[in-house]
Amino acid sequence: MMQHAVVLAAALVVGMPALAQQQLHGEPGVTVDDLVAIARRMSPDLQVAALEAEAAAARIDGAGSLPDPKLQVTIDDWMRNEPGYLPRADWYRATKKLTVSQELPFWGKRDLRREIAEANAREASMMRLQVENELIAKVKAAHAQYHAAHLAGDLARNLRDRLDTLAKLTRTRYAQGTGKQQDATRAEVEKAMLEAEIARTDGERLRAKAAINRLLARPAEAPLAETPSPRLVPPVEALNLAALTDRAQTQNPEVLAEVAAIEGSDKSAKLAEKSWYPDFEVGFGAFRQEERFAGYEAMVRFNIPLQWGLRKSEIGEAKAMASAARARREARALKLGNQVADAWIALKTARKVEQVLRDSQLPQAEIGFRAAARSYELGRTELVDVIMTEQQLWKAHIDLIKTVFEQQIQLAELERLVAGEL
């Protein structure tokens, strides 16, 4: 909606730019860093990701451990001395054995299992960082929307206050016979449309507030600073596209998680290939006969890897998973580079648009409105001409707010992609 009430020239030309400039540079209030700190402490999603990473880290020690040893007790040489199915031998004549055995994987398998668990733990840790990274980006974007809604609402209220003065002027001129009834009516219509615009911006502000509180795991109506402080956007000249792309490829948690997944898949393929080598079980025991020590015994047992189809299937699956992990990494790298370039171009474009608005469009709109308002005061022009120039001035201010909001969004996107502040 671009049709709003008209205001007196001197009041609007001086008041609106000053208010916009003040709001765009921020006022004391809760900063993005404050909100991010709360989100890190309170976010349920981040807590879940942290617990999953902790669970993955806890599996490392167990992955490289040997299985529990086995204790076996046997009784042999039970003799029958009368008919029946149960042994009837004297306990004295039975041979009693006590054996302790331990399963031993083939050399290298335990190390590979531990390395797989370590890779999985690194992947889980990177995914926790990715959840945190996404959370921070959402908080920054919601804060920017909250700030933009405040800017638009404050400008609309500033315009409404000045509209009351204009409405009184049109009514006075009509009562004195120097004005037209339609001018007074048009002023009231514009004032009503402005009230609707204020209601819309208030709704946007409340939605942005609810979005922030949702990210902070708080009730939607929880209080926030009414004068949010915007983030400082660094000059585009200081943001080198090649450096940003390289930083994203080496620091983005999702990419690092893919690297850990590749390492784990490679280790899994090596472990599958080692399934051709047998695992062992060794044991040592002692036995008694006729209630006296009779000697020791030792045992070695190993499995025979004869199921060729099973092992070929496991090895093929593991190698395919490793290839898929590399393909995902390459696809992610390509997508990440495109996303960095898109955000960088959008930020650069928004900065240029802001410069044009500040240096050219806004000053020209202010001059045009000043001239039209002055002519209306002197009775040389119609109210509709003043309204048209006012709408142009209002649109320029709204466009300025939008382009500042766009810069905040693209800055948050770049920081999400590079996983750090710029």
Q: Where residue 33 sits, what CATH number does that domain have? A: 1.20.1600.10
Residue 410, classified by CB atoms within 10 Å of its CB into exposed (0-12), middle (13-18) or buried (19+), is buried
Using an 8 Å Cβ cutoff, are 132 and 40 in contact?
Answer: yes
pLDDT of 277 reads 82
pLDDT of 16 reads 40
What's the pTM value of the predicted model, to 2 decimals?
0.74
pLDDT of 367 reads 84
Q: What are the counts of helices (DSSP H) followed by strands (DSSP E) for the chain? A: 10, 4
pLDDT of 206 reads 87
Q: For residue 386, give both structure tokens.
A: 């003043």
Q: How many distinct structural domains can be found in the chain?
A: 1
What is the C-alpha separation between 220 and 412, in angstroms, rounded?
Answer: 23
pLDDT of 80 reads 54
The answer to whether position 19 is within a domain reads: yes
The answer to whether position 334 is within a domain reads: yes
Q: Which of 10, 6, 354, 17 is nearest to 155 (CA)?
A: 17
The answer to whether position 2 is within a domain reads: no
User: Which helix (H) or strand (E) element contains residue 205?
Assistant: helix 181-215
State which residues form the domain around 20: 9-418
The answer to whether position 336 is within a domain reads: yes
The answer to whether position 4 is within a domain reads: no
Residues of the chain with pLDDT under 70: 1-30, 77-93, 162-163, 165-167, 169, 172, 174, 176-179, 181, 376
pLDDT of 84 reads 56
The answer to whether position 3 is within a domain reads: no
The answer to whether position 281 is within a domain reads: yes
Compute the radius of gyration of the chain from its Cα atoms.
38
pLDDT of 7 reads 33
Q: For residue 194, give both structure tokens.
A: 């402005």
pLDDT of 91 reads 59
The answer to whether position 221 is within a domain reads: yes
Mean of the per-residue pLDDT values of the chain: 79
pLDDT of 82 reads 56
pLDDT of 85 reads 59
